[in-house]
Amino acid sequence: MNRKQLNDLLNDLRKISGILFIGCFLAFSVPAQTDPNPNSPTPVLLTAPGSTRALAVRETNKSLGDKLPTAPGDSFDPYSTVILYVTNLELLSGESASAFRVYGEDSNGRRFSFPVLGLKLIDRRNRIYALIFKLGDETRDGEQPMAEGELLVSAAWRGLESNRVRLGLGKVGGDIKDDGGTVPKSFSASTDLSASKQPADETNIIGYRWSGDRTRFLEQATFGPTAALEDRIRRIGLRTWLAEQFETPYPSTANPYPVFSLRATNPAADCNGLIDGGVPDPDPLCFANHYTMYPVQNWFYKEAFYGDAQLRHRVAWALAQLWVISGVEVQQSSHLTAYHKVLSRNAFGNWRTLMQEMTLNPGMGGYLNMRNSTRFAPNENYAREVLQLFNIGLFMLDNEGKVIIDQTTNQPIPTYDQNTVNNFTLTFTGWNLCEVSGTQCPSRVPGAPNFIDPMIITNPNNHELSAKTLLTYPGSTTTNIAACPGCTGTAITTYANNSLNQALDNIYNHPNVAQFVSKFLIQQLVTGDPTPAYVGRIAAVFNANRTNPTQMKEVIKAILLDPEARGDAKTDPRYGKLREPVLFLTNLARHFDVRSADRSLLSDGVVSTETSAMGQIAFMSPTVFNFYPPDYVVPGTAFKGPEFALFTTGTSVTRINFGNTIIFNRIDVNPNRRVTLGTSISLADLQTFAEADPSGNQLMDALNQKLMHGAMSAQMRSTIQNVVLTVPESNPLLRVQRAVYLIVTSSQYQVQR
């Protein structure tokens, strides 16, 4: 891009500053298809007749009768309990108040979130429910009190926000205005209150049945949509595609795991990446391939760009952000490859098997110090993190993943204490790298530490033989490990392995595991702040498949097919997730036919510098706590947005810069960065639309479908189209580039919804 083009673009950016993603959270604001309609009805809040004021009453013992009130209540005091009346719902069996959220906006434009306390069916025939909530903000903890007067209040369910209606806080009246197009929603048996209906021809705004949902599904289940993949799912349906993915070989035949042999801890002189006496290293890639994460990262991106087993690759990436080890400390690419094979092999398996294999993985053993932890010098790192970070968390959870509060102390109930950690630490003593000659350690290379084969008890005397007390919870039969007095030799080895199995059973059967794991995977694949109802449904699937060798297949399938995940568009302000840098990059690449810099070959996958600038380098987490914590709360809100922990003033700019690089330019070959082929995208298919239609309408239609799953707002479309029209018709490529750039750097795109 030359200086004039850059200046023109900057001027355009100033015109659309309201669209750009500068520190915001979730923008408040058909042939043969075998799957049922994924779109839930949009909830409707009832109003008083002829009014846009909520039909609402204070909760009293007599409030929840069988009849609706005939008029709205007076204004409501702060922190009072209020009942709204909601309809147009199709609830699942057991679906209750935990599936709902209630929001308010005051006359100062501040958004608030109110605790939902209950839900009761009061009119079965017309499916009208009383939705009970507390008029006290859970977002800002009273730091910014709501302005007295009318609030605009809404309810959200399954990611869909209802109409917004007026509710008086402290007094009735004020300066707040209704949303455009707001009309009364008073109940009448002859009135259709549906807030969203499928058009008569069962098509939607982007051309064919439920195509928006297919695009959203691919954003959740893969590293990004492609036209071919969207077309295949349109023909065979989501469930059939999932069944195919569960059986697709991994990794791809054309992109096998990198194979670089185990090496000595200290690099040899001819493989140190250095210049010796002014003589260049005869094999400059030797050090990079063996002693850095370079080959694993490149393999990872090539599999993300082109691999057929997209779902397994995506789930393995999610698991790598839970069972974390990091190339910051892991020395060799072969060590990380062995670790990743554990994740991918168990991505659709049983969680207990994954726990076993990961506990004995030497990469994990080295990263969290279980390797070389002995009864003489025990190390608690793995014992603590296998509880806190990997399986159960710090506090007891109910069946829907909500923290349980002790009614006496009004504090969360801890899952364990330091004494529990100490006992697990002693249970995990004595394991070390598998360095025995023969078939027990088939990957062993003399002179190189064996970070491939599972760890074993190498010296029985290093295992602690005393009794241990593990996690205590109702129904546990694994809490107490008996001592092994007088044991020696092989008896100690047997005792140690049995104790480890009992310890892992003790963790696996803890009542938190299903909710903890389910919520994490929902956050990774679908939305950063799922409702408790969503978490509870997935946890139930986890628990129902505890002994199933393909337990995680059922869990992943349930996550992706849940009604809170599916639908053409989601409007709940708390719904969605910021695209973490890795996914931001891969989604754009896959959308636009990613290839090498000169377009003649496939990309080499060397893009870690680009994601590093945005705050994330694959397999290089700064700590065991991952790149971002799963409970990160967006500042100024009560909304969980884990990936927003990476979003700073600096990284917000580098995300925009990356968009400029990949859309207007390319990642060129660069020997200093070991970029051998480079990376580029093609906008040729979109250029056809720009050439065919000078008005820009066809181009905007295509981009709305491709990038926004049909959910682009009228304001966003109009603003970007006006910018497109400032480019001469004779330059259709620049028209396309500017349109794509403005979309992918907007909050509406960068927040995956």
List, for residues 207-236, the tens digit of each pLDDT value. 456 789 999 999 999 999 999 999 999 999
Tell me: the pLDDT tens digits for 643-680? Answer: 999 999 999 999 999 999 999 999 999 998 999 999 99
738 and 600 share one domain: yes
> In terms of domains, do 606 and 736 share one?
yes
On whether residue 699 sits in a domain, the answer given is yes
Q: Encode pLDDT of 231-266 as tens digits.
A: 999 999 999 999 999 999 999 999 999 999 999 999
Residue 301, domain member (yes or no): no
The pLDDT confidence band at residue 28, using thresholds 50, 70 and 90, is: very low
- pLDDT-based confidence at residue 5 (cuts at 50, 70, 90): low
Claim to verify: residue 16 and residue 144 sit in the same structural domain: no
Q: Is residue 100 part of a domain?
A: yes
Instruction: Give the distance, in angstroms, between the CA of residue 418 and the centroid of all CA atoms in the same chain.
Output: 31
- Considering the domain architecture, whether residues 58 and 10 belong to the same structural domain is answered as no
Number of domains in the chain: 2
Distance CA 359, CA 380 (A): 13
User: Could you tell me the maximum CA-CA distance found in the chain, to the nearest angstrom?
Assistant: 92
CATH number at residue 147: 2.60.40.10
| Neighbouring-strand partners of residue 118 | 132
pLDDT at 474: 96
Q: What's the angle, vertex CA 103, arms to CA 38 and CA 716, rounded to 5?
A: 65
* 63 assigned to some structural domain: yes
Q: Do residue 653 and residue 714 come from a single domain? A: yes
For residue 130, with 0-12 CB atoms within 10 Å meaning exposed, 13-18 middle and 19 or more buried, which class applies? buried
Say whether pLDDT at 636 is over 80.
Answer: no
Q: Does the residue 542 lie in any domain?
A: no
pLDDT in tens, 693-749: 999 999 999 999 999 999 999 999 999 999 999 999 999 999 999 999 999 999 999
Residues 7 and 51 in one domain: no
Q: How far apart are CA 210 and CA 567, in angstroms?
A: 8
Examine the domain organization and report whether 694 and 581 are in the same domain.
Answer: yes
Q: Answer yes or no: is pLDDT of 64 > 80.
A: no
> Could you tell me the pTM of the whole model?
0.93
C-alpha span between 113 and 141 (Å, rounded): 10
C-alpha distances out from residue 99 to 257, 295, 535, 555, 709, Å: 42, 44, 10, 19, 24
Once rounded to an integer, what is the mean pLDDT over residues 47-75? 80
Structural domain containing residue 83: 44-169
Q: pLDDT tens digits, residue range 263-319?
A: 999 999 889 877 665 666 667 789 999 999 999 999 999 999 999 999 999 999 999
pLDDT at 16: 43
Residue 208 lies in a domain: no
Give the integer Cα–Cα distance in Å for 461 and 178: 75
Both 55 and 150 in a single domain?
Answer: yes
Using the 3D structure, point to which of 123, 139, 169 is the last residue of a domain: 169
Q: Which of 169, 185, 209 is the last residue of a domain?
A: 169
Q: Are residues 12 and 136 in the same domain?
A: no
**Are residues 16 and 83 located together in one domain of the fold?**
no
Main-chain dihedrals φ then ψ at residue 123, nearest 5 degrees: -145, 95
595 shares a domain with 633: yes
Is 64 within the bounds of a domain? yes
- What's the pLDDT band for 692 if we cut at 50, 70, 90? very high
Beta partners for residue 418, in sequence order: none
Within this chain, do residues 14 and 126 fall inside the same structural domain, yes or no?
A: no
**Nearest by Cα to 526 from 491, 567, 478:** 567
Q: Which of 169, 191, 209 is the last residue of a domain?
A: 169
In a domain, 282, yes or no: no
